[in-house]
A and B are shown apart, each in its own frame.
Chain A
């Protein structure tokens, strides 16, 4: 999995590309925690090119959400592929994240 960070106005956009499976989870968690440590107030995870997730990946999203809530920051997700949206629905994650259909609406929402 490839993690890229870009800044758009007050938003820090973290693009996740590839598969977020058990073998990738530790490395991705480390990168995400480093981003969270920088205490950005608005973070968007752009999942447009994330084409697989398992429970080890879901765990990273939950860690991020807990951290952002604790510090009063705002976390948004956008562009989830259909299969991934389904996994979010099953796990109840659709209710605990602000999910937007695309990056544009996440930036403006």
Chain B
């Protein structure tokens, strides 16, 4: 075990009200995950954008589903994995918005996935056993 090895896992239902629980869990574990106050906000944003996308777009039915979020920290990396049983959806295929356009030409929306890509160092998607896995990696300096 390295000095930073730590893992937290949350099992949440597909409701936006769970965002408060995500925030609380991140704040409570920030120190153990070796995350500074400045980085806490961007990590919260990353998890919020990914979670919100799943809640809003992954499910065609009105049933309750479980979305799992695991945050795994080792000496070199912090890895966030979101797992859901929704429809296949690969956000890594989304086109980036043009962020150099003037305000009147900017699209309202579409920034969520883009911000995840900017903040994290690696964004990977896998589909297996009828589940979506979104794996977000941030390289951590010692």
Interface string of A87-102 (1 = CB under 8 A from B): 1001110011100000
Q: Write 17 A-B pairs (CB below 8 A) sorted by A numbering.
A: A21-B48, A22-B48, A22-B52, A52-B45, A54-B52, A55-B111, A62-B106, A63-B108, A66-B103, A66-B106, A69-B104, A83-B41, A87-B42, A92-B106, A95-B100, A96-B102, A97-B103
- Do A55 and B103 touch across chains, with their CB atoms under 8 A apart? no
Binding site for B on A (CB under 8 A): 19, 21-23, 51-56, 58-59, 62-63, 65-66, 69-70, 82-84, 86-87, 90-92, 95-97
**Which residues 1-47 of B sit at the A interface, judged by CB distance below 8 A?**
16-17, 19-20, 23, 38, 41-42, 44-45
Selected from A56, A66, A83, A90, the residue in CB contact (under 8 A) with B118 is A90
- Do A91 and B103 touch across chains, with their CB atoms under 8 A apart? no
Residues of chain B contacted by A59 (CB below 8 angstroms) = 108-109, 111
The smallest beta-carbon distance between A84 and chain B, in angstroms, is 8
Residues of chain A contacted by B17 (CB below 8 angstroms) = 23
Selected from A55, A62, A83, the residue in CB contact (under 8 A) with B115 is A55
Q: Interface range on chain B: under 10, 10 to 19, 20 to 34, or 35 or more?
A: 20 to 34
Interface residue SS majority, chain A: helix
The answer for the CA separation of A92 and B100 in the assembled complex, in Å, is 6
